[in-house]
Structure 1
Amino acid sequence: MPRSALSLVLLTWLLGGCSLIPDYHQPPSPAPALYPQAPGDTGSRALASSTDWHQLFRDPTLRQLIQRALDNNRDLRVAALNVEAFQAQYRIQRADLFPAVSANGSGSRQRLPPAITGTGKPLIKSSYSATLGISAYELDFFGRVRSLSEQAMLSYLATEEAQRSAQISLVANVANAYLTWRADQELLVLSGKTLEANLESLRLTARSGTAGKLSNLDVLQARTSVESARASLARYQRQVAQDLNSLSLLVGAEVSPALPGQPLANDLIVAVPAGLPSDLLQRRPDILQAEYQLMAANANIGAARAAFFPSVSLTANAGSSSLELSGLFKGGSGGWTFQPQINLPIFNAGSLQASLDYSRLQRDIRVAQYEKSIQTAFQEVSNGLAARSTYQQQLDAQRRLVEATQDYYNMAEHRYRMGLDSNLVFLDAQRSLFSSQQDLINDRLAQLMAEVNLYTALGGGWQESPELARLPAPQHGAGG
């Protein structure tokens, strides 16, 4: 190879490694290193992110519905197709790094009339050609094409994280819809039992009214309790039907109303460990998506910078041509073309500088969005951890309240049957018991939904690091 050609190839290889993309530095996290410590937390533990929702939910029916939703949900299917679309765009952009080689064959026959040939006779002209070459291949001296390729790759990775975020949201939505359906079913059963108790109370009151022991006012008060219980029963029947419709929509298929399920009082969700480190948020998909978008904007700055420099493109081909098809590949029919082209921007009225400024502003916007996503995620997790610690105290207090109102109801019923108290005391005990039982179911539902929302806020779950899982838990207490 001639020395000049070797020098050109070497220079092209050296310049090909040039990149004008600014060095990427991850912005510092605007969130504290640890979440606010709730009462009972023993400090930070070594935890890692996990997207295995099977380990989180203990109800087999719920796990089955979540799997069906992941298989059938249309929104998740669109998210998966978007990932494939961005992957295809990345492959298209990456292909610009390599020359496109194409082969072309053509032939033509043309009849020229006598008036044009000048011989008084028509003439038939034939020509045939076959070529192999590259067309307008840009030598990426300043990394413009590689910057655009990297931007496309990072956009593809961001879309992958968006799909994972959609999957986590779908899992949480199905879990919340299922738990709401179960809670309304329990409230429906409670309303039915309360209606039966109120009907029995009405019969006792009506019998006492007939005997002259109670007034018509007492009978009317007992009847209002019955109608109130009937209204509650109809309301929860409607809510159960609507909950089932919402769950079927999320699952993408019909859900049987006779599915077996566990009571809300059972341990349906694995408890979140105490002392979560805030760096667990770095694996949350929306934060990863924001960072990939930031890195893509940073890569776009490299492409905008490279636009200030000359661009060199090559067109070259070699082939054969002949007036006869039989002589297309005979000796002496070969030919070649080599056509380099250089484009040097001289004056563009500030368009290139504006494009660079725009790219930098987009990068700054992505930085702000990345920091905001971390702050939002930190707040959601902190709120979830606070809810976890307080809901348990609220549930314990509510259970004690139900036990107290149950004793109050039993005593009021006994005294009413013995004729020691009026009907008002007994009706008040009935309303108090029904209300406290309703509140207990609603509080348990709120606690379970808070656990599900914490799963979403943590980006899909958590798991203890295997290296530290075998170590004994730290001991706290008095000692010397």
Structure 2
Amino acid sequence: MKRAALLALAALGGCVSAGERADAPPAAAVVPPPAWRTALNGADPVTADWWRKFGDPALAALVERALANNVDIAIAAARVEEARAAEALSRAQLLPQVGGTLPETQGQSVSALGQPSRAISAQPSISASFDLDLFGRLRLASRAARAQLLASEGARDTVRLATAATAASGYITLRALDQRLSIAEATLAARNDALRIARRRYETGYSSRLEYRQAQAEYAATEQLVPAARLAIARQENALSLLVGDSPGPIARGLSLDRIALPPIPAGLPADLLRRRPDLYQAEQTLVAADLSLDSQRAAFLPNLLLTGSAGLVLSSALKEPIGIFSLGASVLAPIFDGGRLAAQEDAATARRDQAAFAYRRTALTAFREVDDALAGVARTAEQARALRDQVAATRGAVSNATNRYRAGYSGYLEQLDAQRSQLSAELSLVQVEADRLTSFVSLYQAMGGGWR
């Protein structure tokens, strides 16, 4: 079945199979969710350089370096070349095979008079053979190899898209870690001021030793956040360096996390979604190849006609004139008794075709789920971010009020400490949610096959 028909059936919940076979497994049907989500805002088409929509040149440069230097992409490209060679080999089976030989012999004979004589002879010849392929066995095998080549190209594009999405998500994670480090350092500075005030109040006898110890403990607890954040940054940089094919080292930064743009969400129906995804295209072509291989295996039960011919000359120093020779022949090959080998091979090909059909169904349903998850992530993280921004603003006001009351002697240190802890937790949560929201956009682009032409 052609690709457009497969995708249309997948979108409408029809039966997905290759070659419209009546014996395709019924469980291959793909049904989209009953209430499919639509775009939340905007209707911009998916582009091959979707990562530029985030508006960060450093992010775009990192993704493009990964696409140019990633080792997994290079391996996938080499597999495409292997499949291309296999497809060329299968096409060569459809053409006649022509060969030539030039044997040379030397001999010595004795004449009736007892005189020895030496003779040199050669017999150049050309031979040809051609399989008529009466029932399409070789043609079907060639078409199956072509489908496998297309499937390998889909696998390569899947790796490219996953690499681009991983690079973009990794960069967003790195910028979130940078912001967490900035928050930890700013909080540590605030804890240092609180510790200094608690020490002075304790030394002057204005507060108890308990408040001073609490300030010390809180300063130490905040201090350990700094090396932890730096360790996470170093590991994330090393992971991104590996992704772009470099040795471990620093990664260039661009915009801060809160300045990275939120791109408009591409709109599209489920059928359009499926056409953009290279992994679904790979599963589809794998199904087509398995179905064609099954037909080729069935054709092996039928007779096969092979034509052969050869022509040549006999040249010898013992002959006055060369002698021309030729031969023509045909052979019919048909299985009579093979102990069930062909039947077993057909059963195996049928099982592989069924596996490919079920894999196609799973891939299509996974596509629906991933888009739905990404759209839900974009919407829900936006709601979380709004609530956390309000919480951060409220905790900052609470810290300011608690600090003033503590310094004026109207409240104890625990009130200020509790407000500071709430502020730190809210700020770190806001950074994480903002990173999750941007990552949801990346996941949406990947789920819709955004980076694949």
Q: Same fold (TM over 0.5)?
A: yes
Residue 179 of structure 1 is matched in structure 2 by: 172
- Kindly state the Cα deviation for residue 80 of structure 1 after the two structures are TM-superposed: 0.4
Tell me which residue corresponds to 1:226.
Answer: 219
Hey, what's the Cα distance between the residues in 1 that align with 2:452 and 2:186?
Answer: 41
Go from structure 1 to structure 2 and tell me whether the alpha carbon gap of 1:22 and 1:109 turns closer, same or farther (over 3 Å shift): farther
TM-score, normalization by structure 2: 0.88
Alignment of 1:65 onto 2:59: no
* 1:99 aligned partner: 96
- Alignment check: 8 A CA contact 1:35 1:277 kept: no
For 1:79, the equivalent position in structure 2 comes to 76
Counterparts of 1:224-373 in structure 2, within 5 Å, are: 224-254=217-247, 257=250, 259-273=252-266, 276-324=269-317, 332-373=322-363
Does the 8 Å contact 1:108/1:128 carry over to 2?
A: yes
Extract unaligned runs of 5+ from structure 2.
1-17
Q: Does residue 1:130 correspond to 2:127, yes or no?
A: no
How many angstroms apart in 2 are the aligned matches of 1:111 and 1:200? 113
Indicate whether 1:109 and 2:106 are aligned: yes
Cα distance in 2 for partners of 1:340, 1:274 equals 61
3-state DSSP class of the match of 2:224? Answer: helix
Q: Give percent identity, aligned residues only.
A: 34
**Is 1:426 equivalent to 2:416 in the alignment?**
yes
The residue type equivalent to 1:356 in the other structure is E
How far is 1:380 from its partner?
Answer: 1.3
Q: Is 1:163 matched with 2:156?
A: yes
**CA distance in structure 2 between the aligned counterparts of 1:104 and 1:389, rounded to whole angstroms:** 74
Match status 1:37 vs 2:48 = no
Alpha-carbon distance in structure 2 between the residues aligned to 1:442 and 1:234: 18
Superposed displacement of residue 120, structure 1: 7.6
> Against the structure 1 CA distance between its residues 118 and 233, is the aligned structure 2 distance closer, same or farther, given a 3 Å change threshold?
farther
After superposition, the Cα gap between the structure-2 partners of 1:66 and 1:239, relative to the gap in structure 1 and judged at 3 Å, is same
Separation in structure 1 between the aligned mates of residue 328 and residue 437 of structure 2, nearest angstrom: 74
Whole-angstrom CA distance in 1 between matches of 2:172 and 2:45: 27
Choose which of 369, 383, 403 in structure 2 pairs with 1:379: 369
Show the counterpart of 1:401.
391
Code of the residue aligned with 1:316 in structure 2: it is G
Cα contact 2:148–2:286 (8 A) shared by 1: yes
Report the AA paired with residue 91 of structure 1: A
**Which of 432, 442, 452 pairs up with 1:442?**
432
How far the C-alpha of 1:198 sits from its partner, in A, is 0.3
Which ranges in structure 1 are unaligned for 5 or more consecutive residues? 1-20, 464-480
Distance 1:23 1:110 in 2: 66
**Amino acid paired to 2:55:** R
Q: Secondary structure at the match of 1:31?
A: coil
CA gap 1:131/1:433 in 2 versus in 1, 3 angstroms: same
Return the offset for 1:347.
1.5
Q: TM-score scaled to structure 1, two decimals? A: 0.83
Q: Is the 8 A contact 2:40 2:265 kept in 1?
A: no
- Quote the offset at 1:363 in angstroms: 1.4
C-alpha contact 1:46 1:277 (8 A) present in aligned 2? no
SS in 2 for 1:51: coil
1:454-469, aligned counterparts within 5 Å?
454-460=444-450
Partner of 1:473: none
Of the structure 1 ranges 176-185 and 250-259, higher mean CA displacement relative to structure 2 is found in 250-259
Instruction: State the secondary structure of the residue aligned to 2:335.
Output: coil
8 Å CA contact 1:37, 1:275 repeated in 2: no
2:375 & 2:69 partners in 1: Cα distance?
Answer: 32
Q: Is the 8 A contact 2:52 2:60 kept in 1?
A: no
Worse overlay, 306-315 or 397-406 = 306-315
C-alpha root-mean-square deviation of aligned residues, in Å?
Answer: 2.8
SS of match in other structure, 1:399: helix
**Alignment length (residue pairs):** 433
Q: What is the CA distance between 1:29 and its match in structure 2?
A: 5.2
Q: Distance in 2 between matches of 1:462 and 1:392?
A: 27
Structure 2 residue matching 1:97: 3-state secondary structure: coil
SS at match of 1:316: strand
C-alpha contact 1:301 1:359 (8 A) present in aligned 2: yes
The alpha-carbon distance between structure 1 residues 226 and 138, as it changes in their structure 2 partners (threshold 3 A), is same
Task: Choose 267-276 or 428-437, whichever is displaced more.
Answer: 267-276
Report the more deviating stretch, 373-382 or 392-401.
Answer: 373-382
